[in-house]
Amino acid sequence: MNQIKPLVNSIANQPAKPLAKLTDQELEMRLRDLATKERKILHVILEHIKEFESRKLYLARAYTSVFEYLVKELGYSNSAAMRRLEAARLLREVPIVAEKIKEGSINLSQIGELSRALKEKEKITGAKVCREIKAELVSSISGKSTKETQKELAVALDIPVYDFEKQKIQQDDSLRIEITLNKAQLEKLQQCKNLTSHLLMQNFNGDSSWATLFEVLADQYLNKRKMNRKSSLAGAEKESLELKKASLGAKAASLEPETQANRIEMGGANSSNLTSIEMKDSHFSEIVFSACISSDISSGSIGGSSIGGSTIGGNPKYDSTSPISTPIADAAIHNRIYKNVTPLLRRTVLLRDGCCQFLDSLTGKRCGSKFSLEVDHKTSQWAGGKHMLANLHTLCREHNSYKYSLESGVRTLS
């Protein structure tokens, strides 16, 4: 009780200034301070749960377990109660957990992952995991994300990889499926989710779940098959007509060799004209070449650009010996002003950047999000910014809106 009273008093004694009146710096500082105090209070709560369970005080309150007491008496949700109970029990065996929680290097989600991994390991081997190994695992997952924690625990405890699938029909005729994806499959699906983010946001009310993604991919595949079937039928009809024409042409050739020779000569002239037409306007080809757009998006080589360097867009296929790849040519392409941002120019920027380029002005941290990407002017048009590659960059939807709010002086409120 002596531990928690100063913390409660410090929170209660926060300035009465309304949150809307706080400056951005004051609001962030207060939030950081409260988060620190929350972690300290959490540690104290876990200590109380641990002692409460050891004394079995829940029995006197007519509950059969601490979990039931936390849910029904204290109002925790099932998941919140279980996470706190798992942390309190781990705290009993590995006291270092208390310090890790206070400093924020370990959270309840990680402890939950650790608890589940330990139970799975003990179920497989039939033996308890000793305290020393638990302490090592706590140290190994310190400061890591939940996904990194899952991988670290799976490797450290040698948890087997489950590659079987589970299917279960539910009461509304929906099907619940559990599958295992390897790393390459997961990367491909994640890339599909990033590329279809605008479609998911616009047509599915922002639902970006895997189930919605699978529906979108299935629709696209079925539509493509439908179009291919129509194209195949059209192609068969066209081939039949060409065979008929060829048959008629052969007959005509046997009767009129001079006419046939004239046709060949005219065909050669047309081919020459076609070549000259294709070469007329190549500045968009230069853009695409300069940005090194790769048709194989899954190669992952769509990083940043280097003007005049040996690589652009991180594409190893870029030939630095090409005449277009000289510093002067690259600078000319990147600084060329266009009348508007065309779809090809937009795609060039998206593939060149690959992710949101927003930078934290204090730490230099890049957003890096690949979801719901948009092309934006570094210097806005109202400030004299032009439509050119050097002035275009990629932002996610959230940071594009944030940049606009900063420039327009509008305060973003949810």
Q: Report the share of the chain in percent with pLDDT over 70.
A: 73
Whether the per-residue pLDDT at 303 is higher than 80: the answer is no
More confident residue, 313 or 152: 152
Least confident of 77-81, 84-88, 241-245: 241-245
DSSP state of 64: S
- Quote the pLDDT of residue 353: 92
The pLDDT value recorded for residue 272 is 41
Q: What is the pLDDT of residue 139?
A: 92
CA distance 237 to 239: 5
Identify the three-state secondary structure at position 366.
Answer: strand
Q: Indicate the range of 10-14, 100-104, 242-246, 337-341 predicted with least confidence.
A: 10-14
Give 178's pLDDT tier (boundaries 50, 70, 90). confident
For the whole model, what pTM was predicted?
Answer: 0.52
DSSP for 150-216, please give it. Answer: HHHHHHHTTPPP----EEEE-TTS-EEEE----HHHHHHHHHHHHHTHHHHHHHSTT---HHHHHHH
**Inter-residue contact 357 to 369 (CB < 8 Å):** no
Per-residue confidence (pLDDT) for residue 103, from 0 to 100: 87
Token pair 């600078």 in the structure block, residue: 331
User: Residue 204: is its pLDDT beyond 90?
Assistant: no
Which of 12-16, 234-238, 300-304 has the least mean pLDDT?
Answer: 300-304
Are the C-beta atoms of 339 and 332 separated by less than 8 Å? no
Mean pLDDT on 351-376: 90
> How many whole angstroms separate alpha carbon 82 and alpha carbon 108?
10
- CA–CA gap between residue 396 and residue 399 (Å, rounded): 5
Kindly tell me if the per-residue pLDDT of 311 is higher than 60.
Answer: no
Of 343 and 268, more confident: 343
Task: Tell me which residue of 393, 180, 414 sits closest to 304, measured CA to CA.
Answer: 393
Annotated domain spans of the chain: 4-156, 211-278, 283-408
Per mean pLDDT, which range of 24-28, 51-55, 225-229, 316-320 is the poorest?
316-320
Rounded Cα distance, 265 and 257, in Å: 13
